[in-house]
Amino acid sequence: MRTMYPEIEPYRTHRIAVGGGHTLYVEECGNPQGLPVVFLHGGPGAGLSPYHRRFFDPARYRIVLFDQRGAGRSTPFADLTDNTTWHLVSDIETIREQFEIERWAVFGGSWGSTLALAYAQAHPERVLGLVLRGIFLCRPEEVRWYYEEGGASWILPEKWQRYAAAIPVEERHTMLDAYWRRLTSDDETVRLAAAKAWGAWEGGGITLEESPETEASFAAPEVALSLARIEAHYFRNQAFLEPNQLLRDVAKLRHIPTVIVHGRYDIICPAKNACDLAAVWPEADLRIVLAGHAASEPAIADVLVEATDRLADRYC
């Protein structure tokens, strides 16, 4: 199995103002003369982690990573103003233009796969290749599956009970709306309690094997507040997409070399999502592996690194 590349540090960091009061944290890693790739993190609202740099050969890639609006080190933290899919698509183009990159590869997992598809469909002429992991198309049934009392509650019943316990019984028929009311409360204590419960629920399902450390990291305030607020904002608005838009517009991408990687036992984003995408995109290389949702799981990391190596072989 391939493993991720060794840890690296950015050779340059940036603060880029993108309007609406938002300033993005952006970093560049690897080889400044290498194949450009932009990494799109999950959530929305989860922010970057140092291991995200490690899916790419630092000798061959110019790796661009950024915290999306309201997430991580971008400011203002957890802010929902002018924070939509199409604002983020515009931000990606702003970064590309400021860095004087003509075309680049796009790598995105979970929500990052949603954003990667939206960006590539808006700007296919700028995309050299796509590596997509843990497909999420933000369809209503996908949101119901994990955040309402869908199938995930049957697989993780004790964790669902803790997630549901943050909401009074009489409001549990619409969990997303109930959480939204608390995540946008004027009371900071109420906001934080809801965010921590939301984060623990999401972190509790992300790996195939139990990982209390992962669950705790998602429930930490510096992650949970932006994750929960921004996710609820996007999910209540179907990610600001038209119904089935990402599947409908795949024809714009069929010429782009693409690898789709998905865990067979992904609880957060079921494998059906990837199969639905591949069904309308036969040219894409679909890889379903024995893993859950997390990009860091060995079986997923193996195929992701293989995919980025093959893309570098193609262009370098």
217 as an active site residue: the answer is no
Residue that has been written with the tokens 């930490």 in this structure: 220
Ordered strands of the 22-30 beta sheet: 12-19, 22-30, 61-66, 35-40, 104-109, 127-133, 258-263, 285-289
> Kind and range of the H or E element at 311?
helix 298-315
Q: Among 52, 74, 79, 110, which one carries the catalytic annotation?
A: 110
- Neighbour tally for 257: CB within 10 Å: 18
Question: Active site includes 255?
Answer: no
Q: Other C-beta atoms within 10 Å of 49: how many?
A: 16
Candidate list 113, 249, 293, 302, residue with the active-site label: 293
Q: Is 74 a catalytic residue?
A: no
Q: For residue 280, give both structure tokens.
A: 């309308």
Rounded Cα distance between 71 and 80, Å, is 10
For the chain, what percentages of helix, strand and coil (3-state, to nearest 5) are there? 45, 15, 35
- The answer to whether 271 touches 263, Cβ cutoff 8 Å, is yes
Q: List Cβ neighbours of 241 (8 Å cut-off, separation of 6 or more).
A: 85, 118, 138
Q: What is the DSSP string of 97-121?
A: HHTT-SSEEEEEETHHHHHHHHHHH
CA 108 to chain centre: 6
* Lookup result for tokens 């789709």: 260
Peptide bond into 44 cis (omega under 30): yes
Q: Which residues pair with 12 in a beta bridge?
A: 28
Tokens 């075309």 found at: 103
Tokens of 192: 């934080």
> What pairs with residue 129 in β-bridges?
105
Point out the catalytic residue in the list 266, 276, 296, 302.
266
Active site residues: 110, 266, 293
